[in-house]
Amino acid sequence: MGTTTEAENKPAESARRQKTRERLMDAAFEVFSEVGIHAATVEMITERADFTRGAFYSNFDTKEELFLALAERGYNERLELLRASVANIDVIMPTLLEQNPGSLTATELGPIVASFLEQQGDNRLWFLFQSELRLLAMRDPEVGKLFLQQKHAADQEFGNIIAAAFTAVGITPAIESVELAIVLMNTYEASLQEAIMAGGDKVQERAHELFMQRMLGLISQLAS
């Protein structure tokens, strides 16, 4: 019978390596969010993922490298959710759009934004992770440079998505879409931070409520 060649083995090895990498990243995301990057150890991450230190170092040279890989993955996942939401505006709110073609007000935008937020899931751990990332980026110039590259790229893409969303509902922002995206994101993060600090078992719901209140006022001022 024929033997398996090295070339035939490579796809399987690549798939296993990718699964290992993803499991390490999932575990690290939880650990970093819970205790912070400095308190987190490689052992804590590998134990959570049920792997050895060797598995960690065959995929990442440092915790910082893993941290930035997690940030990139997180940004991409959230941008993809937003793209899907924008693509489905006419499905999410068909009646509203039919009744108000090209003339939605800030108040009428509320239900659409609320539906976007519902599709984003629980962002509490992501916010905690981002807070750790920002602290690290401010303390470590090398990490800071890489973080800013990621952030600027994400801001630009978020701006493109926001522009598409506003175009779909007939609103023209009074400022550049990327600037509006940054304002909206900062407003959402401030709302989430306040909800986390307040405690309770309905953090996400409270964050959405706060954001909706603030967002409607912002849109009235920043869109024409």
Mind listing the pLDDT tens digit for each residue in 39-73?
999 999 999 999 999 999 999 999 989 989 999 99
Tens of pLDDT, residue by residue over 175-206, are: 888 898 888 888 888 999 999 999 888 888 88
- Nearest residue to 211 via CA among 222, 223, 203, 200: 203
Q: What type of residue is 57?
A: Y
Would the CA dihedral through 121, 126, 127, 130 be positive or negative? negative
DSSP letter at 7 equals H
Structural domains of the chain in order of their starting residue, each with its CATH number: 1-60 (1.10.10.60), 63-222 (1.10.357)
pLDDT tens-digit profile of 78-93? 888 877 777 766 555 5
Q: What residue type is 59 in one-letter code?
A: N
Residue 96 near residue 171, CB atoms below 8 Å: no
118 pLDDT more than 80? no
Quick one: pLDDT at residue 81?
80
pLDDT digits (tens, 9 = 90+) for 10-21: 666 688 889 999
**Structure confidence at residue 194 (pLDDT):** 94
- The angle subtended at Cα 142 by Cα 139 and Cα 147, nearest 5°, is 85
Q: How far apart are CA 166 and CA 176, in angstroms?
A: 12
* Cβ burial 2-23 (10 Å sphere, 16+ → b, else e): eeeeeeeeeeeeeeeeeebbeb
Q: Helix or strand or coil: residue 123?
A: coil
